[in-house]
Chain A
Amino acid sequence: MGMRAINRSSSVNRPKWRKIAYGGMQPGFEDNHTDESFLEDMIMNANVVRRDLLKVMLDSVSISQYLCIVALVVLVWTYTLRSILTEDSLLLLDVTLLGLGFFILLVTAEMLSFELLLSYLLKISFFITGLYLLSPIYHTLTRSISSDSIWALTAVLIILHLFLHNYSGSTVKAPGTLENPTLTSNISLNASIVASLLIASRLPSRLHVFAIVLFSLQVFLFAPLVTYCIRKYSFRLHLILSFSLTCSTLFFVYNLHRLLFVLLFVILAFVNVICPYWLIRIQEYKFEINGPWDEAKLCFNITE
């Protein structure tokens, strides 16, 4: 009892410690004094976003969708190399894809203007002519290299493409967008183009080469844009499309090779189920510290 009274009186007489740097050493306190207020301005996990498992899973659908698109392209390559797909059917596929892509873009992007369409058609015809003229060169491009090396290189390039691909947007932008594509998405796009040229150079005729390069370029350049437009237009449509794409891809791959089917299935399950669950689980380890020592953020935009 008496002790407590003495303590109280001493704490009354003693000047309170203040968080100041001026005036030399504070009387009664050493320089290494750690006050009760130490770290009281620290804020933990102020900006952490709580994520929902279902939403993360739905967001991951666009990744698996693109995986399926690339798998389908590889399937077309394989069937063409095995001479199951003829050049006529390939050309028919090209025209169908081009028409379908244009149709979707016109419907979803709401830019039904005759002049724009005309300028697009003009550009595309230039592009196709150029490709047709260059196809003899592509045809003999890698004649001196063995097919095994080409397949290995293509596989590496496709994996690189998938790793660096920009899944949240599209490298090829709709006209009028301001932001530029990132370096990694450009590298990804170039890897896919090189891969398709390598595959095309293994084909028997020039028309084959032309058809397959046109097909690959159509898919790699414009499929992200088209799927992006669909996703923006209607998320339900995006889900339906992804689901049907996944099913058909799995069906075709199953017909081609059992092991590849298992592999693709595992990858899709990993992307759509395990990764989202994993992300939610490791959220609890998130630890963010903020406090008065942080660099202040400017509340206005700097226009250089």
Chain B
Amino acid sequence: MGAKISDAMGERGKHRILMVSDFFYPNFGGVESHIYYLSQCLIPLGHKVVVMTHAYNNRSGVRYMTGGLKVYYVPWKPFLMQNTLPTFYGTLPIIRTILIRENISVVHGHQAFSTLCHEALMHARTMGYKVVFTDHSLYGFADVGSIHMNKVLQFTLADVTQAICVSHTSKENTVLRSGLPPEKVYVIPNAVDTAMFKPAPEQLSNDEIVVIVISRLVYRKGADLLVEVIPEVCRLHPNVRFVIGGDGPKRVRLEEMREKHSLQDRVDMLGAVPHAKVRSVLITGHIFLNSSLTEAFCIAILEAASCGLLTVSTRVGGVPEVLPDDMIVLAEPDPSDMIHAIAKAINILPQIDPKAMHLRMKELYSWHDVARRTEIVYDRALRCSSQPLLERLSRYLTCGAWAGKLFCLVMLIDFILWHLLQLWQPDRDIEVVPDVTLANFLHEEMSWDSNQSETLR
């Protein structure tokens, strides 16, 4: 085996990071790709990265991915939307074992509605680890679900060392929801793997304009807006054709719309598009249409722009921050304004050069840049002083009249359980894993873009 034990990992400035989230490969989405690409870019910088998630069907136990990325699929069944059942203390033993075995220095949790992430961060804080949290989504303040989520987030973030958000709007939202001081919250956006999303080798002719939509067809992604917009655009512009990739409960409505306006020859419904095929769909079009009603960042827009498509999007959440004004046409989430925006996009289409756009995207976004910026956050987190339990408890107390006391109780029980666990299975009885660097991956570190597509799908 081409593996060697390296002692270099222990040197100063190199971190040993545990990424925790319920959402990881084989699932696919913004969070999953963020964790994957960030880990892949942190490893070449000399850090050790271990991912922890729950088991997906029979994908359970320890697996290795590209670049020697070690993934723990904890045998813990998801119960709702790929989330594990919240048990508060059920995950303490395994998280403690992983933290000690892998000799972790920083725990990095992802996504506000991942219960595994919240539990891991809580246990890690109890055990005195430094904790970083990345928030990937936006929440309102009005409905019961959001109020509950915000309280949970407040609990987790009350004691988090540093927090990261994917856009400035997301930062404002997180600060309001959790009451964190804004200077503790960093904005590090997502990025796109430009090597995977190259434009079509030959530029398409502008005789027929193809508008691409790739999203889950659900209410929050604005599928109902599409139902209103598509017939009107088809009526106004006889040379426009739509290609819709994605599946979901609203697909029936779109198909109904297609029948009703007899647009079968002008609206293609592809069904669910696997991520590896997204590029091949994108390069058949000129314009990418995003109709989301809420979006913290929207990686899909980056993928489209990287393929050289002009983007038309609703002006919601963090979307206005994502691209420079000349690469995107923004519209209010209102059918007439969106129809107007599509007309504007068709007008400026001749000035768009997909290759030039791709090169610009290469300048604007890179996962290596994201990794370097995240590294700074880890450095800062490690420089923060450790606090005794009492001082931390006082911070939980400020979370609310009733909730504060409840949070304190939860943390105290966690602390006691941790000490009982230490008696039952002392730290020295847990074997530490030797650091293994797969030599044959080391010199491929810069060209991993080419082989990750096989790993991911």
Which A residues lie at the B interface, using CB under 8 A?
Answer: 19-25, 30-32, 34, 38-39, 41-42, 288-289, 291-300, 302, 304
Contacts and interface: CB of A to CB of B under 8 A. Distances in A.
B173 A291 contact: yes
Interface in B146-189: 166-170, 172-173, 175-176, 182-189
Contact of B173 (A24, A293, A300, A304): A293
Nearest to A289: B141
Contacts of B316: 292, 295-296
B322 A21 contact: yes
B172 A32 contact: no
Tell which of A20, A24, A42, A292 has the most Cβ of chain B within 10 Å.
A292
B333 A296 contact: yes
A292 B173 CA distance: 9
Interface stretch (B102-110, B362-370, B415-423): B362-370
Interface string B183-213: 1111111000000000000000000000000
Contacts of B168: 19-21
B162 to A, nearest CB: 8
B34 to A, nearest CB: 13
A284 B224 CA distance: 37
Interface string B326-370: 000000011100000000000000000000000000011110010
A22 B183 contact: no
Interface of B: 138-142, 166-170, 172-173, 175-176, 182-189, 220, 222, 224-225, 228, 253, 293-294, 296-297, 314, 316-318, 321-324, 333-335, 363-366, 369, 373, 376-377
Contact of B172 (A24, A38, A297): A38
B322 A293 contact: no
A163 B175 CA distance: 39
Given A31-B377, A300-B228, A294 B321 contact: no
Contacts of B185: 32
Contact of A21 (B253, B321, B334, B366): B321
B333 A21 contact: no
A39 B321 contact: no
Contacts of B377: 31
B186 A293 contact: no
A210 B188 CA distance: 75
B296 to A, nearest CB: 8
B173 A20 contact: no
B183 A293 contact: no
19 contacts: A22-B321, A22-B322, A22-B365, A23-B363, A24-B366, A30-B376, A31-B186, A31-B373, A34-B183, A39-B175, A41-B172, A42-B176, A289-B176, A292-B169, A293-B170, A295-B138, A295-B220, A296-B222, A298-B293
A297 B142 CA distance: 13
Given A32-B183, A42-B176, A293-B139, A21 B318 contact: yes
Contacts of B323: 22
Given A31-B373, A38-B172, 10 more contacts: A24-B366, A32-B187, A288-B141, A292-B169, A292-B317, A293-B172, A293-B294, A295-B294, A300-B228, A300-B335
Contact of B225 (A25, A292, A294, A298): A298
Nearest to A40: B172
